[in-house]
Amino acid sequence: MAGLGSSFAAGSGFGPLKPDTPQHCGRSIDNYATLVAEDLRMLLVDVSCGGATTAHVLGPWNELPPQIEAVTPDTALVTITVGGNDLGYVGYLIAESCKLRGVDKLS
């Protein structure tokens, strides 16, 4: 099984981080790929990373290889959640949140 994607896939902010993974990726021991792998009793290769975009699935990102390289002919299941960073989702969410409170700009 392979777990690919951005912070939503990595589970950034949900529980302790997985040991021996890049800290900036924020891979939680409780991310959904890990929980699925445990439930299905599958070996997981988790390459999810907070901040990743769709470009990082197919191409390298700094010291990280393309996430797609975690998928091999023996991989039986792939989970992937990516795209929010391509759209600027977090910035949009913050901006809309401020609008709802009647604040046009952050100071």
Among 2, 7, 44, smallest CA distance to 26 is for 7
pLDDT in tens, 57-77: 999 999 999 999 999 999 999
In a domain, 107, yes or no: no
Question: Domain limits at 75?
Answer: 2-100
How far is it, in rounded angstroms, from Cα 97 to Cα 29?
Answer: 29
Q: Rounded distance, CA 80 to CA 6, Å?
A: 8
Q: Is position 95 within any domain?
A: yes
The CATH number that applies at residue 76 is 3.40.50.1110
Distance CA 107, CA 95 (A): 12
Residue predicted with more confidence, 93 or 39? 39
Residue with tokens 């777990």: 3
For residues 95 and 75, is the Cβ–Cβ distance under 8 A? no
Q: How confident is the model at residue 101 (pLDDT cuts 50, 70, 90)?
A: low
Domain tally, the chain: 1
Residues 2-16 have a mean pLDDT of 93
Rounded CA separation 27/8 (Å): 10
For residue 14, give Cα distances in angstroms to 66, 76, 79, 86.
24, 26, 18, 22
